Structures are given as C-alpha cells and as structure tokens.
C-alpha cells in the first residue's frame, strides 16, 4: 500500500483528491495480487472514458459524421494509447501486482491501460462525472489537441467523387431540396445525383455539409462502392 506521501503525490498527478482513498488503492490492485482487485473499476472507467471522449469530439467537431468521430474515439481510447498515458500518472511503480506479473522493469501494456481506466472509475465514484471529465481531459490534453477526425479517413463526398470519376468519368451533383427552420436552427434536405445513374439519394441534417455527406454515403451504397477502410495508419 502506498505511503501517505506517495498517496498525496499520486493524487496530485491524477488531479483529484479522494474522499475515499480506498477506491484509489483498489484501482491500483491487479487481479494477480488478489481481491479486491481493479477489474470492476476498470469496467466502469472504460464506460466513463468513452462518454467523456465522445462528448468532447461531438462538441468540438460539430460537422463531422458519426463514422469519423467513431474512428477518432477508437484511436484515443485504445489500449496502447492508455498504456502510454499511464506514464503521465507514473502508475507503473505504484501498481500492486502478484508474483506472476512482477517482471522488473516491464509491465504489460494491457495492465497499465486497465489501471488508467480503473483510476478513472475510482475518480467517478468518489467525485462524480464532472470530476472524472476534468481528470480525463487533463490526462489526454495533448492527444485531444493532436487528433484531427476529418483526416482519419476520406469522407463520403471525397470517396464518391473519386469513384464516379474513375468509373463513370462524371462528378456527383448536390442540390438543396429543402431548408426549413429559423436562421439559427436550419434543417437541410440535400439530394445527390450522378449522370447515368437512375434516381438520386437524399440526406437530411442541421448542416448542409453533413446532409451532403449523408447523401453521398447513400449514393456510394447505391453504386456498390467499397466502404471506407478503418484507420490503420498507427
């Protein structure tokens, strides 16, 4: 168990002072060290992390499609990202591990990632969602600033244009069919048509750009184009 000074230093690194420090001790205890371990806290922290990152991406990148945001979130919350972030809290030296997991300098990335999620879960139980959000955003500040969801994969309009140019030697045409609502709360219905293809597809959204993306995605499906590849760049 951490000394009082070590506990204070860890709480300072995490950015949360625990009313119930037993939650923090449990978050640092791997199942190999016996019960109570951190697996339930890890489960909870994983959900809180997803929610906070999803909220951040949703509010920051208001015109990005759901698929783009999903790809960005997956990159931010995946295990190797969390394992690297464990060093920000200097979790490795304070983890409680059983003999089977004590391997000197090296600790498996999965254990480090799980510990990060467990600490997040502990913060949530101790201080609520606002405290967990603050801790997560501070921990992931650099990663969140570097992420650029619109560049994680080609959007639907780009893929459709490339597909129609290659296969039909034409460009898709977008047309606003309807724009309703007050100026500050418009709602657009946009059609997408391609010369030589019967009919058109429609997309609806509060943003014309997003509506065009939806219509383009439907046209890609209509044409039987290959779906966008998942982000495997890292």
Residues annotated catalytic, as ranges:
46, 117
Tens digits of per-residue pLDDT, 97-119?
887 665 544 568 889 999 999 99
Are residues 128 and 34 part of one domain? yes
Domain endpoint, select from 132, 151, 170: 151
Under 8 Å between Cβ of 61 and 149: yes
pLDDT at 67 over 70: yes
85 lies in a domain? yes
Kindly provide the residue ranges of all beta strands, DSSP E only, lying in the chain, ordered along the sequence.
173-180, 187-193, 201-205
Strand order through the sheet with 173-180: 173-180, 187-193, 201-205
163 lies in a domain? yes
Are residues 127 and 11 part of one domain? yes
Are residues 141 and 49 part of one domain? yes
Average pLDDT, the chain: 86
Residues 6+ apart with CB under 8 A from 200: 191, 192, 193, 215, 219
209 lies in a domain? yes
pLDDT at 152 over 50: no
Report the Cα–Cα distance between both ends of the chain, in Å, rounded: 37
pLDDT at 72 over 90: no
With CA atoms as reference, report the closest residue to 123 among 13, 225, 234: 13
176 lies in a domain? yes
Under 8 Å between Cβ of 86 and 113: yes
Give, in order, the Cα–Cα distances in Å from 153 to each of 44, 64, 137, 207, 209.
30, 11, 24, 20, 16
pLDDT, residue 230, reads 41
Are residues 162 and 126 part of one domain? no
Under 8 Å between Cβ of 77 and 49: yes
pLDDT at 142 over 70: yes
Task: Give percent helix, percent strand, percent coil of the chain, each to the nearest 5.
Answer: 60, 10, 30
Domain CATH number, residue 114: 1.10.1520.10
Are residues 75 and 18 part of one domain? yes
Residue with tokens 């109570």: 36
Q: Report how many domains make up the chain.
A: 2
pLDDT, residue 154, reads 66
Are residues 111 and 34 part of one domain? yes
Are residues 164 and 135 part of one domain? no
Tens digits of per-residue pLDDT, 193-230?
999 999 999 988 877 888 898 899 899 999 987 555 44
pLDDT, residue 150, reads 59
Higher-confidence residue: 121 or 109? 121
228 lies in a domain? no
16 lies in a domain? yes
232 lies in a domain? no
15 pLDDT band (50/70/90 cuts)? very high
Mean pLDDT along residues 27-37: 91
Mean pLDDT along residues 128-155: 83
pLDDT at 185 over 70: no
Are residues 163 and 143 part of one domain? no
Instruction: Name the pTM for this structure.
Output: 0.64
Are residues 115 and 207 part of one domain? no
Domain CATH number, residue 171: 3.30.160.20
230 lies in a domain? no
Are residues 162 and 138 part of one domain? no
pLDDT, residue 106, reads 52
| Domain coverage including residue 91 | 4-151
Domain endpoint, select from 94, 122, 151: 151
Are residues 142 and 211 part of one domain? no
Are residues 106 and 23 part of one domain? yes
pLDDT, residue 104, reads 46
């Amino acid at each position: 168990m951490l000394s009082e000074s070590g506990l204070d230093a860890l709480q300072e690194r995490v950015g949360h002072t625990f009313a119930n420090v037993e939650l923090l001790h449990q978050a640092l205890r791997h199942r190999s060290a016996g019960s109570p371990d951190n697996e339930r806290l890890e489960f909870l922290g994983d959900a809180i992390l997803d929610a906070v990152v999803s909220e951040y991406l949703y509010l920051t990148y208001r015109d990005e499609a759901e698929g783009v945001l999903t790809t960005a979130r997956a990159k931010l919350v995946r295990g190797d990202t969390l394992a690297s972030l464990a060093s920000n809290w200097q979790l490795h030296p304070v983890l409680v591990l059983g003999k089977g997991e004590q391997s000197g300098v090296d600790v498996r990335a999965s254990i480090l990632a799980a510990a990060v999620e467990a600490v997040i879960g502990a913060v949530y139980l101790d201080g609520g969602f606002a405290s967990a959000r603050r801790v997560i955003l501070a921990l992931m500040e650099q990663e969140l600033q570097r992420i650029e969801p619109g560049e994680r994969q080609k959007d639907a309009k780009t893929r459709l244009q490339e597909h129609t140019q290659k296969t039909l030697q034409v460009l898709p045409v977008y047309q606003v069919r309807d724009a309703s609502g007050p100026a500050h709360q418009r709602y657009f219905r946009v059609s997408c048509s391609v010369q030589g293809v019967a009919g058109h597809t429609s997309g609806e959204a509060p943003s014309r750009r997003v509506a065009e993306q939806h219509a383009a995605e439907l046209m890609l499906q209509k044409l039987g184009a290959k779906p966008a590849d998942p982000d495997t760049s890292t």
